[in-house]
Structure 1
Amino acid sequence: MQKIVLSALFILLTCSGYAQSIPVTIRLNDPSETPVIAANVRVMNVPDSSVVQYAIADTVGAVTFKLIPGNAYELLASSIGYKPLRKSLVISASDKALFFTLSEDNQLLDEVRIVGSRPLMRQEDDKVIVDPEPLISTSTSTLEVLEKTPGLFVDPDGNVYLSSTTPATIYINGREQRMSTADIASMLKSLPPDAIAHIEILRTPSAKYDASGSGGVVNVVLKKGIKIGLTGSVNASVNQGRYGNQVLGVNLNNQNGKSHSYVNLNYSKRNSYEKVETERLLANNSRVVQKAFTTHPADVAYAGFGFGYEFTPKWEVNYDSRINYNLDRSYSVNESAITRMNATTPSSENSNYLQNGTHTFSMNQGVTSRYKINEAGSEITTDFSFGYTENKGTQAYQTSFRLPQATELEGGGDWTNRRYFWAGQVDARYKLPMQITLETGLKATFQDFNSGTNYFIQVGDKQERDAFRSTTFRYRDNINAAYLQGSRSLGSFVLKVGARLENTNMKGRQMIPADTSFAINRTDLFPYLYLSRKVGAIAGYELRSYLVMRRSITRPTYEYLNPFARFVDQYLYETGNPALQPQFTTNFEVNISVQERPIIAIGRNYTQDIFTNVLYQDPANPTVAYRSYDNLGKNSETYFRLMGAIPPGKKYFFVVGMQYNYNDYRGEYENSPLEFQRGSLSLFTFHQLKLGTLSTVSLNGFYRMKGQLQFYELSNFGNLNLNVNRQFLNKKLVASLSVSDLFFTNQYRFTLNQGSVSARGARINDTRRVGLSLRYNFGIRKKEEKSGMPDFDTIERSTR
């Protein structure tokens, strides 16, 4: 693959082929030369009016279309607070950028309803852009928005999956969140949905992104004060399952000339339950049967704020900050029994009570700058960030044995984890002759993680130190990267090729109870190839195909490496594996999109040194098992994805899709050959129906058949959510009534057969909920949005 990418990069930089259409950038400013952000732009081919291109202006007020020199086009641009701009265009081969000024129209804001709509999902180069607006009203957190996004799957532990059975990497504002799964899930639960501008889904990220996204990348982009003047919203919501959740939040955005600022405040009080039933066979012809019920009450506070300033038309600087505090408790009761096969009475019976209390404080600070080299789109961006997470917790457990004799076992402990993370990167993009775009950049990250636990066992009236669970662990890593990639339009083709070089330095050491030091130092090359081609048109919409090849790495997080033994119950504990090695994945995907909307894809992932969650019997006690992570061999995963939608209309719109994954594992487990094959099918959908001008009904959900989580084989399960929205007070107040997991089908049974471990069970969560939310919008805002294409006919009628 490296040879293919290097050859393509050489051709890209040296050839000077003829292109029939050329990219033309259209930039929109107001009279003060401030970019007009999020303007709706339409370009229509006058000789053939069925050929229409649509786009939304980015943060510098720019859109790019592929136009044919000498052809006549009609341009229509509109934005809230400005008069619509209509221009006739005939471009020449030398036209690279066109500049237009939109005139302000304050009266238009108060008297004319403008429909500036966006599609729910659209393809943009190598990523899918999701407009979260239709999902926000039905959600109380960013994690719930991801759960309801068509094509994404979020498991009960908070992992997000795209095409692969490897979890996706989570980014916030383009920055990788290198934290444990539990910490990321906690952060996404605290992040208010109103703060999301859009979501980027990158199943095959380019060389510009970190190579650590074997399962793809989900980038949550937050709003940053892009409104005109002062705007904002106040929202409150409650939902009730067996337990209740309450959420209250305030969002403010302000833009005043060259400066902008924003504030997001959110508080939530949450509670839910989890019920797990398991049956595990033992080597001595016995079985352990357990029934656990756990509640998870939590109080979460979130604050996000930032500001930016445009010093010159070419240079701007932004500062962003996020602070999160989470007080999480859990209370668990686990009834356990050991029974010999064919026996009528258990040989052992007990009740285990477990109580955890965790205080998590996290802080993220970032400074970014953008310098525009020229008006063709060349620019240099910098990003420096710092993150700190502190996790303090206590645990207490008590086991009451009834058989074979009445005894008690109790103990507990406390822990403190601290994580420091620094990152700095510089990216440059250059527009060169012959329609070539070069991108290059440097990045360095540093992470320092410290963990200390102190456990005890109660013996009579005394407490004795638990040497097995008392640990001190320190982990550090430094990753340095450089990348180079280029893209070029060649007629109906778009070629992008690049490579990323990453130097990885990881070092961990457990000082207590024993030294389990490890170190990883390696340098790897990650090639990338992207090819896009126009293949036709359907009903006037462009049909385009894409081919992507990529190599990536998945590094074990400190959660996977930390050898600290976490007590679950007297028959199960969890521990990390300091010897865990990174895994490497090579991905190939072909997909087709219609008018920037993905409709079909097929791909394959080849993974080496795959590490996964495993379950082992404790060699010292056959009744005890422990969960850990291990490198098991290699895996070939083939997937097929299909998505479709009806043509966007004024009243009804829907998206429906499916994805099929087939996995073939080959490796070694417990010193024996391991072979595992399984195929799973997922269906997902989103529907929206407008009832008049004030009410909307939406329905979304998924259904997964023969699902898989690592080596756990799952039964069929799904989730269907219903929501009704109604607008009041001149459309400033939005009330939403929702039902999540309408038929209570988001629960599953599982089986696990790994070497000497054979287990089965069921998992049920507090997923069926009825909720009510209120959101009041103030300031100057768009009066109406819908999922679909921009309704320029409405704009034209309103302004005549």
Structure 2
Amino acid sequence: MTLVLRAIFHWVLLIITTQSILLAQSGSLRLHVEEADKRGVFGATLQLTDRADTTRKLYAISDTAGNAFFRLATNRTYRLLVTSVGYKPVRKEIASQQMQNVLTVVMTPDNVQLQSVYVTAAKPLVRQEDDKTIVDPEPIAATSTSAYELLEKTPGLFLDPDGNVYLSSTTPATIYINGREQKMSASDIASILKSLPPNSIARMEILRTPSARYDASSSGGIVNIILKKGVSLGLTGSVNAGFNQGRFGNQYVGLNLNNTQGRRSSYLNLNYTHRNSYEQIQTNRTFSPDSILRQDAYTTFPAHVFYAGYGLGFETSRKWDLNLDGRFSWNESASSASNSNQISQVSTGRLVSDNLNQIDGTNRLVSITQGATAKYKLDTLGSEWITDLSYTFMGNRGTQDFSTQYIQPERNRTAGDGNFDSQRHLVAIQTDLKYKLTKTITFETGAKLTWQQFNSRQDYFNQRTNQRIIDVGRTNSFEYRENINSAYAQMSKTFGPFLLKGGLRLENTNMNGHQRIPTDTTFKINRTDLFPYVFLSRKVAKIAGYELRSYLVYRRSITRPAYDYLNPAARYVDQYLYERGNPALRPQFTENYEVNISMEDRPLFAIGRNNTRDIFTNVVYQDPARPSVAYRTYDNLGINRETYFRILAGIPPINRYFFVVGAQYNYNEYSGMYENKPLNFERGSWSFFTYHSLKIDNRSTLTVNGFIRTRGQLQFYELSNFGGMNIGLNRKFMKDKLMITLAANDLFFTNYYQFVLQQGSVSADGLRRNDTRRVGLTLRYNFGVRKKEERTNPFTIEPPVQN
């Protein structure tokens, strides 16, 4: 694999070098689109048509400052057409002598009422923007009930049953909301995403190789969820309601309001969901040459979820923007688990032990986030200074009642109860400066400080003859503090067909954990690390009128163990399994090399390598004193080399139909120590995904999306083939104000897997299944008057840009 990777890298570099000689002469042109009051117009569509050859067209969309950039062939004349909903079209001719100047286009408002939605600017489902992929969630949101479900349906993203999101590698991605990292466990983030309504999301940014501007703790990449804000003039909104039914049913209702008047904007999102689902895990574990433990656990999760999001925006002048935004989530849930445990003798099949565990619990999760952002526009070239301050609180409180009924050999039933309480406070302050030194040179620098305090306490009791006795094996108390200070600087320069960006990030990490119960232990981590980043992009070739651009990326990143990975307190699962953290766990470091190619700003192909040292992962060890008992923990196992490639393709609309299809291959090589013995583990897995859209008529659209994973891998668990297909049909009524969507998720009930674990002394296999097959109906009604609205058709691909 190493020789193949080197050959491809050399091949791409050869193409880059060769193509630079063949470039024709060209000139740069910057167009500034503004209103009469000099304010830039964001999202305007610009089209340049070569008068000598009208089939040659170029397209661009103005940025937040109203700027758009073109690279044009010299000695030519072009016709310019500028359109934006809410403005009258502007038409001009541009001569070749204007190509080194800044051309200003003034647009005149053309107010319209919200009636039908018209196509004036096309947006692709997936597009590439420098080092990040932009996903338009609108077509997927119509058939989803939450942000979590929307991520599950996004082509190229994969979620495991624990809520981890995977991009290119087998290391989970880091989740951001509005550019802020969510420092939570996977289960806590999953709870937040399940409470977030899908139609509150404006776009998703996928950064597989984030630059030095972002935290280095993102080895698996970043998924940044950008929420909608009040961007339309006037009062607008929507109400939505729906349900879906699997083995259990979900119901939800929501309200979205947007209001912009002058330089003030605001939005409010309210959503209530009642949901229920189940999980079934069957496990067979051999713990001695002639003994096997068979477990069958079935758990239901009913919940009531309330979500509220709000935002206020102020444009105090032509240069200052101030925004306040907040989110509140209340999740009142319960769980009921029934776990059958049987121990049998393999040689004879004789049943040695049979018992039944019952665990009933309640849980209340409260999440509050408040943020404030100030942006200062330094000039019209795009220079800006952004400062962001945020505070997040999460409180998790619950109870448990558990009992064990012994069927064989028969003996008295045992029972107990417990309660737990955890609180997390997170404060983050970040400032970023982007300065355009020239038209081709951009300098970026910034600093960030995060502080986190986490407190956890669990009290458990056993019931004995009407007395509650403390269960020392489950009771624990844990405190954790984390402070990370960072600063970065990076610069990008455009020269000819090349774009070069390089940066360096410094991070100072301070982690302090203190377990008070059952034993008094303390661990501390204090370290300072440097993380370089290099990004090179250039035009490679043009095939059939489509421009190909290649990207070379190198970055270094860190994965820090989370608080629950470090907590040494034992956490009881059942009498045969418990969990505990590892306070000696070291952070892992990853070096990533990637080559990728895009076509007309749409990702096409990528190949890369992740080299990770001190890799830590979830492992299962067998208790040497009690062979029937195992415990899960985390450990540093050695090094991992992961090679991957990804391909994504699609077609423009043909008779109102288009599709996106892709594949990804991951090959992992582990080398290290496991249970003080040499570990060598290799596995390759394939992932295939697709998205289809058929516009039946002007009001009806059919969508189909799905995925297949073959020879999947989850830590050291080897998974069977699994996948899922989702289908949705939506139709508009009442002058396109009402949309009704019928959706079916996991239509063939194939989104479950069998697993095998063969590591060290642990030999296990089993099955994991969830309530994934569901059929549902959603209604959404839009209301209000919009004077300026970006009306787009997400099922349309932009025409190719030509030089």
Q: Which TM-score bucket, shorter chain as reference?
A: over 0.9
**TM norm structure 2:** 0.93
1:746 counterpart letter in structure 2: N
Aligned residue number for residue 786 of structure 1 = 794
Asked if 1:28 is matched to 2:38, the reply is no
Structural mapping, 1:141-160, within 5 Å: 141-160=146-165
Asked if 1:324 is matched to 2:329, the reply is yes
Distance apart, 1:43 and its partner CA:
3.4
Aligned residue number for residue 19 of structure 2 = none
Aligned residue number for residue 9 of structure 1 = none
Distance apart, 1:438 and its partner CA:
0.7
Mark the CA change 1:32 to 1:765 in structure 2 (over 3 Å): closer, same or farther: same
Q: Out of 770, 774, 779, which is 1:769 matched to?
A: 774
Equivalent residues of 2:197, 2:271 under 8 A apart: yes
CA distance in 1: counterparts of 2:633 and 2:25, whole angstroms: 57
Aligned residue number for residue 570 of structure 2 = 565
Q: Out of 262, 268, 271, which is 1:266 matched to?
A: 271
1:317 counterpart letter in structure 2: L
Q: Out of 288, 298, 313, which is 2:293 matched to?
A: 288
Equivalent residues of 1:549, 1:587 under 8 A apart: yes
1:277 counterpart letter in structure 2: Q
- Identical residues among aligned pairs (%): 55
Range 335-344 or range 717-726, more displaced = 335-344
Q: Out of 275, 283, 290, which is 2:280 matched to?
A: 275
Mark the CA change 1:458 to 1:24 in structure 2 (over 3 Å): closer, same or farther: farther
Range 98-107 or range 567-576, more displaced = 98-107
Aligned residue number for residue 798 of structure 1 = none
CA distance in 1: counterparts of 2:731 and 2:354, whole angstroms: 54
CA distance in 1: counterparts of 2:703 and 2:423, whole angstroms: 42
CA distance in 2: counterparts of 1:74 and 1:226, whole angstroms: 30
CA distance in 2: counterparts of 1:748 and 1:111, whole angstroms: 45
Equivalent residues of 2:137, 2:201 under 8 A apart: yes
1:182 counterpart letter in structure 2: S
Q: What secondary structure sits across from 1:157 in the alignment? A: coil
Equivalent residues of 2:83, 2:120 under 8 A apart: no
Asked if 1:577 is matched to 2:585, the reply is no
Asked if 1:673 is matched to 2:714, the reply is no
Structural mapping, 1:505-520, within 5 Å: 505-520=510-525
Distance apart, 1:228 and its partner CA:
2.2
Q: Out of 514, 524, 527, which is 2:529 matched to?
A: 524
Equivalent residues of 1:97, 1:375 under 8 A apart: no
Q: Out of 599, 607, 610, which is 1:602 matched to?
A: 607
1:79 counterpart letter in structure 2: S
Q: What secondary structure sits across from 1:277 in the alignment? A: strand
1:724 counterpart letter in structure 2: L
Equivalent residues of 1:712, 1:751 under 8 A apart: yes
Q: What secondary structure sits across from 2:199 in the alignment? A: helix
Asked if 1:635 is matched to 2:643, the reply is no
1:180 counterpart letter in structure 2: S
Distance apart, 1:32 and its partner CA:
3.9
Mark the CA change 1:117 to 1:363 in structure 2 (over 3 Å): closer, same or farther: same
Q: Out of 110, 131, 135, which is 2:140 matched to?
A: 135
Distance apart, 1:105 and its partner CA:
1.5
CA distance in 1: counterparts of 2:255 and 2:45, whole angstroms: 28
Q: Deviations over 1:22-61 (max 9, x none)?
A: 6654333333444433333333444555554433334443
Distance apart, 1:107 and its partner CA:
4.9
Distance apart, 1:787 and its partner CA:
1.9
Aligned residue number for residue 15 of structure 1 = none
Unaligned ranges ≥5, structure 1: 1-17, 793-800
Mark the CA change 1:64 to 1:559 in structure 2 (over 3 Å): closer, same or farther: farther
Aligned residue number for residue 255 of structure 1 = 260
CA distance in 2: counterparts of 1:782 and 1:497, whole angstroms: 34
Equivalent residues of 2:238, 2:257 under 8 A apart: yes
Distance apart, 1:395 and its partner CA:
1.5
1:62 counterpart letter in structure 2: N
Mark the CA change 1:460 to 1:591 in structure 2 (over 3 Å): closer, same or farther: same
Aligned residue number for residue 739 of structure 1 = 744
Distance apart, 1:628 and its partner CA:
1.4
Mark the CA change 1:564 to 1:101 in structure 2 (over 3 Å): closer, same or farther: farther
How many residues in Structure 1 have an aligned counterpart in Structure 2? 776
Distance apart, 1:341 and its partner CA:
1.4
CA distance in 2: counterparts of 1:564 and 1:339, whole angstroms: 31
Note the aligned Cα RMSD (angstroms).
2.0
**TM norm structure 1:** 0.94
Distance apart, 1:67 and its partner CA:
4.1
Equivalent residues of 1:238, 1:244 under 8 A apart: yes
Range 554-563 or range 322-331, more displaced = 554-563
Mark the CA change 1:462 to 1:585 in structure 2 (over 3 Å): closer, same or farther: same
Equivalent residues of 2:256, 2:269 under 8 A apart: yes
Distance apart, 1:111 and its partner CA:
8.2
Aligned residue number for residue 105 of structure 2 = 100
CA distance in 2: counterparts of 1:743 and 1:719, whole angstroms: 7
Distance apart, 1:346 and its partner CA:
1.0
1:415 counterpart letter in structure 2: F
Distance apart, 1:280 and its partner CA:
0.3
Aligned residue number for residue 419 of structure 1 = 424
Distance apart, 1:648 and its partner CA:
3.4
Mark the CA change 1:588 to 1:404 in structure 2 (over 3 Å): closer, same or farther: same
2:751 counterpart letter in structure 1: N
Q: Out of 52, 65, 72, which is 2:70 matched to?
A: 65
